[in-house]
A = this chain, B = another copy of it.
Amino acid sequence: MASAGRRQRRKEERPGEIVEAAFEEFARSGFAATKLDDVAARAGITKGTIYLYFPSKEDLFLATVREMNRPSQENLAALTAAPQGPAMAILRSHFAFVYEQMVEDRRAREILRMLMAEVSRFPDLAERWRVEVIGPAVEALRRVVRYGIERGEFRPSAAEEFPHLLFAPVMMACTWRMMFGDDHALDRAAYLAGHLDLMERGLVRGPGEGE
């Protein structure tokens, strides 16, 4: 504390601190408008130091997006467990979790925004994200739907081919909040409940249906 503001050598912590600061600036201004001097200032260092750890602005951006994506990738593992019990219960807890991750967590929203905004400059980034994050997530959802159909709980439906349809309201809430800000955010609990209600009606077998 006494040395706050003084110059310090912190080889281990620097990269993380820089990425953290870079994330805030990139999220605020986008790739092109972000100034490395601002990133440095936010990290409490100078621009030169950034170049000790990252070869260029582009590399810093890539490192930032990848770093911020790590939690999502780690969370995916939990979804690959063998399903048990009612499929609808799985979906309920799954989506409660996903809302927490994507809609409530500002970082996840900003990452999405950055990816959308910079696809044309970094095409590989979007493709990588599709293959490593979104693809598996869609697949996991599809597995739950299949499981529900197999155990007779769900009727066959388009949700098997397009699990996107189930996930869509999450995306909607996410983009909504990211466009219009926290002030106009949709009421989380009511929205989630509504989402699950409509989903359930759409998926489950009717009384006299099938089998």
Q: Tell me the number of copies of this protein.
A: 2
- How would you classify the secondary structure of chain A's contact residues: helix, strand, loop or mixed? helix
**What residues of chain B lie closer than 8 Å to A136, measured between beta carbons?**
none
Q: Is the CB of A117 within 8 A of B116?
A: yes
In-complex Cβ contact of A164 among B33, B169, B179, B202 (8 A): B169
- Chain B, residue nearest A117 (CB): B117
Q: Which residues 123-179 in A have Cβ within 8 Å of B in the complex?
A: 126-127, 129-130, 157-159, 161-162, 164-165, 167-169, 171-173, 175-176, 178-179
Residue A41, interface by CB 8 Å: no
Q: Is the CB of A199 within 8 A of B202?
A: yes
In-complex Cβ contact of A190 among B162, B169, B206 (8 A): B162
Most buried by B among A158, A161, A173: A158
Residue A77, interface by CB 8 Å: no
Known A-B contacts A202-B198, A202-B199; A116 and B175 likewise in contact (beta carbons under 8 Å): yes
| Number of chain A residues close to chain B: CB under 8 A | 51
The complex places the Cα of A178 from the Cα of B115 at a distance, in Å, of 10
The complex places the Cα of A11 from the Cα of B121 at a distance, in Å, of 34
Q: Is the CB of B32 within 8 A of A30?
A: yes
**What residues of chain B lie closer than 8 Å to A202, measured between beta carbons?**
197-199, 201-202
Q: Is the CB of A191 within 8 A of B162?
A: yes
Binding site for B on A (CB under 8 A): 28-33, 113, 115-121, 126-127, 129-130, 157-159, 161-162, 164-165, 167-169, 171-173, 175-176, 178-180, 184, 186, 190-191, 193-195, 197-199, 201-203, 206-207
